Structure 1
């Protein structure tokens, strides 16, 4: 029987940045803002792969659109 944690895969900030095609600083901003969940190990962060996939699959509004 699996508890789910043994199946979880965690990625480094560099791996997440490569997957998302953004800079590492952008990933850190998402982590610190809470938009991307992460676990801290010492001075580094690990992001669940499932969270990255969820963000990539979530449709986002065009940056040029205004809400007014």
Structure 2
């Protein structure tokens, strides 16, 4: 498993880079409430994997979303971004 390095050397240094984030981790990364993220997951407006009753978000989804925001240089609507990804056969 890949190792993430924390340039500041603080908490989280040398933690494994997870392939998937749970809802709490994803919400924390995106600085949003878990209930808001659950609403988006249940409605299909945010890409995730549902295993039984549990959602997990691939790390690549978060990384590609960040890349898209930086490339666009503006606010990106996640629902539109996810819809484009679905039409193109993968995560945007």
TM-score w.r.t. the length of structure 1 is 0.63
> Which structure is higher in strand share?
1
Point out where structure 1 has 5 or more consecutive residues left out of the alignment.
Answer: 1-7, 62-68
Contact 1:36 1:51 in 2 (8 A): no
Which has the higher relative contact order, 1 or 2, with Cα contacts under 8 A spaced 6 or more apart? 1
**Superposition deviation, residue 41 in structure 1:** 1.4
In structure 2, stretches of 5+ residues that fail to align are 1-17, 70-74, 77-92
The Cα of 1:28 is off from its aligned counterpart by: 1.2
Higher helix proportion: 2
CA RMSD, 1 decimal? 2.0
After TM superposition, where is structure 1 displaced by more than 4 Å over at least 4 residues in a row? none
TM-score normalised by structure 2 residue count: 0.49
Task: Give aligned pairs, total.
Answer: 54
Q: Give per-residue Cα distances to partners, 1:11-53, cap 9 Å, x unaligned.
A: 1000000100101111112222333211111211011111112
Q: Partner of 2:45: helix, strand, or coil?
A: coil
